[in-house]
Amino acid sequence: MHISEDFIIYFENNLPYLIDVKNKEEFCIHDKSYFEAILKYLQNGSLDAKIRSEFLENNLIVKQKIKSISKYNNKVADLFHQASNNILKSFSDMDRLEFAENYLMASISLKENPLPNQNYSVEYSEDELVHLPEPTKEKYNKQSLFEVLDRRKTIREFYSHTVETQQLSDLLFTCFGYFHRHKDNETEEYGVFKRRTSPSGGCLQSIDAYLVIFDVADIAPGIYRYDAENHILCKERDGITYDELKDLLIGQFFGDNSSFGIFLAGNLEVFTWKYKTLRNYRVSFMEAGHFSQTLQLCVIAENLNCWISGAFNDTKIEEYLNIRNKRVIPMFYVAIGKGKYKRMNRIMTEKRNELNLV
Ligand SMILES: Cc1cc2nc3c(=O)[nH]c(=O)nc-3n(C[C@H](O)[C@H](O)[C@H](O)COP(=O)(O)O)c2cc1C
């Protein structure tokens, strides 16, 4: 017999909880005799008959260990992967009509609670708001997709450049704004949900853009949250230096001299309105990936360059973005400006040469 490897134990308020990652179930262990039984089993292999049958029934102990490879080469990542694997609630055994009915009924029950507010600027005073110029839509028409894809590259060295407010407005609107709103029957088709140029899990639009402004005409350096609903920037913090950015990005200094950057942040209040299982972790990051790619392509179409980073100090960023006590998390950073079309920063190249590395 083996203790199953599908369980995690964690503690909260001095109480142990057991998570069955395979069956996505969670139990609070109020009765400490279960713990004592496990300890005794570990010491001498003996298990009280009643507890043994309970453990067997709940798969806490298994007769045979199932051999499986470590997918991530990391135990916690494997457990996490397993916990977010397989949607257990399946409609597979239903015919098409039954599927349609069940799916629609599940969607209707969601709407009993209103979708969280995404009209962010109402939370700020007028002097904290930057009203962006009306976005223009035409310019991206002039470039072929192929040409833009061909020029996309992660660069790691920027030089000083002031980005026009209009460019920022166009980029934000195209990548994070409600771009399709003008279309006939769009509202009719989507109801409370709105679409943007990137796809969105459940059409919840849970990716928020937090801007780090260094050098954009007529906008003071600082950190701003984009209100897509009203096409307005909402100030979170005055001023930021490249050294501070470097610190947030665990020492990576490749954002030096960038004109601005965007933290893609997951608004989990919006997201968990619909998605409540551990699998939501996958969906929210996939959504950030889609938004990042659209943003990078539009940055290239603007004749600018970008550097991207998924490596950063989340806790420090939460403080800078003012989201520590909000249900919002940073997911990805895109630094934007004019730069050298090179993979490596000059400092890295010089160091590589000095150390005689290939
Ligand atoms: C999810 C993800 C995370 C990344 N994180 C970093 C990072 O922390 N620092 C960095 O310099 N580049 C980062 N990159 C950029 C990759 O190194 C880069 O995409 C890769 O070298 C290929 O180059 P290309 O983007 O020019 O095609 C990341 C890319 C992705 C997709």
Which pLDDT value is given to residue 186? 85
- What pLDDT digit, counting tens, does each position of 331-358 carry? 999 999 999 999 999 999 999 999 999 7
Q: What is the pLDDT of residues 252-263, one digit of tens each?
A: 999 999 999 999
Query: Does ligand 1 have an atom closer than 6 angstroms to the CB of 230?
Result: no
CA 72 / ligand 1 centre spacing (Å): 19
How many Å apart are CA 239 and CA 220, to the nearest integer?
A: 7
Give the Å distance between the CA of 103 and the centre of ligand 1: 38
Ligand 1 and 310: CB distance under 6 A: yes
Provide, rounded to the nearest whole percent, the portion of the chain with pLDDT above 70: 100
Q: Candidates 308, 313, 348: which one to mutate for ligand 1, based on the most atoms within 8 Å of Cβ?
A: 308
Q: Is 297 in the pocket of ligand 1 (CB under 6 A)?
A: no
**Token pair belonging to 248:** 């947030």
Q: How far apart are CA 251 and CA 334, in angstroms?
A: 16
153 CB less than 6 Å from ligand 1?
A: yes
Query: From residue 56, how far is each of 4, 21, 154, 267 by CA, in Å?
Result: 10, 16, 52, 40
CB-count burial class (<10 Å; 0-12, 13-18, 19+) for 328:
buried
Boundaries of every domain in the chain: 2-83, 120-347
Distance 344 CA to ligand 1 centre (A): 12
Instruction: Output 71 or 112, whichever has higher pLDDT.
Output: 71
* pLDDT digit string, tens, across residues 2-25: 889 889 999 999 998 999 998 888
Is residue 251 in contact with ligand 1, taking CB distance under 6 Å? Answer: no
d(CA 141, CA 305): 19
User: Which fold is adopted by the domain 120-347?
Assistant: NADH Oxidase (3.40.109)
| Ligand 1 contacts CB of residue 313 (under 6 A) | no
Q: How far is the CA of 154 from the centre of ligand 1 (A)?
A: 7
Residue 116 has pLDDT above 90, yes or no: yes
